[in-house]
């Protein structure tokens, strides 16, 4: 009887570990969904890049994405908020954004995790034609008292193309004049930050 009980205990422990792993993966993917959802906007009165996206980041998070040189993206709440504030909002240079990810793969290692995903996005800067982009992202997550949060997000290559037909203007936000803003990477590193 004790062998059966020990085997049962072992199976229950394995099941608990499996359930915790599945819960962690789901929680991580939910955070990344929120990230994309809050970045998306520019239509039906919804602004792109709402500040709620920043709730998905740790205080010391790094956003290692273009136009920043590799490894020189904003780090920490003050820098990534400045980076964010430059681009987004109806009065910023990037008012139209739709982005999502697919094929998310998550590897959990204790209180850290790595997520690999394919991202699809449509972006339109003021005065430009919209662009469609496909890229691969690698995101590092950390378990915090508030749940899983992104501590580093990167874009690992990709491709983009101009949508020559443009976007259907029905439902797009009417834009106010663009504010004068200086991008994070130029303010911090100058015109040619190699």
CATH number of the domain enclosing 60: 3.10.450.50
Q: What's this model's pTM, rounded to 2 decimal places? A: 0.85
Identify the sign of the CA torsion 188, 130, 98, 119. negative
Does residue 185 lie in a domain region? yes
- Across the range 54-80, mean pLDDT stands at 94
Question: Between vectors from CA 48 to CA 29 and to CA 134, what angle results, nearest 5°?
Answer: 55
Whether residue 188 is predicted with pLDDT greater than 90 in this model: the reply is no
Does residue 113 lie in a domain region? yes
Closest CA relative to residue 138, chosen from 95, 104, 89, 98: 104
Residues in the chain: 194
Q: For residue 32, name the pLDDT band (cuts at 50, 70, 90).
A: very high
pLDDT of residue 99: 94
User: Which residues form the domain of 53?
Assistant: 2-173+181-189
Q: Where are the alpha helices (DSSP H) in the chain?
A: 2-39, 76-87, 184-189
Does residue 23 lie in a domain region? yes
**Calpha distance 144→161 (Å, rounded):** 38
Does residue 194 lie in a domain region? no
What's the domain count of the chain? 1
**pLDDT per residue as tens digits for the range 120-179:** 999 999 889 999 999 999 999 999 999 999 999 999 888 999 988 777 777 777 888 888
């Amino acid at each position: 009887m004790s062998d059966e009980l020990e085997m049962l205990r072992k199976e229950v422990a394995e099941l608990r570990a499996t359930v915790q792993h599945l819960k962690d993966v789901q929680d991580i993917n939910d955070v990344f969904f929120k990230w994309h959802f809050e970045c998306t906007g520019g239509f039906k009165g919804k602004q792109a890049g709402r500040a709620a996206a920043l709730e998905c980041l740790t205080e010391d998070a790094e956003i290692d994405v273009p136009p920043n040189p590799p490894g020189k993206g904003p780090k920490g709440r003050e820098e990534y908020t400045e980076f964010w504030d430059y681009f987004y909002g109806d009065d910023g240079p990037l008012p139209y954004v739709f982005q999502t990810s697919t094929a998310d793969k998550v590897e959990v290692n204790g209180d850290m995790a790595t997520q690999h995903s394919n991202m699809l996005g449509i972006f339109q800067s003021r005065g430009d034609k919209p662009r469609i982009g496909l890229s691969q992202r690698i995101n590092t997550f950390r378990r915090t008292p508030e749940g899983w949060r992104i501590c580093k997000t990167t874009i690992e290559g990709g491709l983009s193309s101009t949508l020559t037909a443009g976007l259907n203007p029905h439902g797009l936000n009417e834009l106010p004049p663009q504010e004068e803003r200086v991008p994070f990477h130029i303010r911090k590193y100058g015109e040619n930050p190699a």
